[in-house]
Amino acid sequence: MNLAYASDQDLLLSTLIHEYAHILSLSPGQTDPDAWSCDTLQLDEGCAEPDSALWAFDQEFWAAYRSDAPDAANADADLAYEFYLDHEDDFVSDYAATNVVEDFAESFMTFVLEPEPDSDTVIARKLLFFWDRPEYVEIRDHVRAAFGL
């Protein structure tokens, strides 16, 4: 991201939060970059640790799609969009359907920027996934306070 071209402040903030979610979910302790095979989730960054938030998110929200879902390394926008069209009500954005890693980041971004949901949709359950983790609520509160949200 080049901040010199960031004229849309809302887009800039949402992008930075999205990218921060990648740091949270793919950092050491969350992934094992030296693992060659996984009992959890194979990522470009290594294997998701068994107690990682991304693995929990995958099991809770992506396991049911397994044979139909794009894999965790998917970067094919057309494949992602087709998957999104089949499951529009399950994602906060069409980009979230790219793979579980992007869904985690897009859902985290929405969790930070939006109020706590009061419904039982798949999207609401994804946002509540973060509300159920005090460390993420603390990050949310910090970001919102820092940016006057």
pLDDT tens-digit series, residues 57-67: 999 999 999 78
Tell me the DSSP string of 79-128: HHHHHHHHSGGG-SSTGGGG-HHHHHHHHHHHHHHSPPP-S-SHHHHHHH
Q: Domain span at residue 95?
A: 3-146
- Token pair of 107 as six digits: 């859902």
For residue 5, pLDDT over 70 is answered with no
For residue 110, pLDDT over 80 is answered with yes
- The helix or strand, by DSSP H or E, that contains position 39, with its residue range, turns out to be none
Count of domains observed in the chain: 1
> Mean per-residue pLDDT for 128-149?
95
Distance between CA atoms of residues 92 and 139, nearest Å: 20
Calculate the alpha carbon distances from 65 to 18, 44, 50, 92 in Å.
23, 20, 20, 17
Predicted TM-score of the model (pTM): 0.92
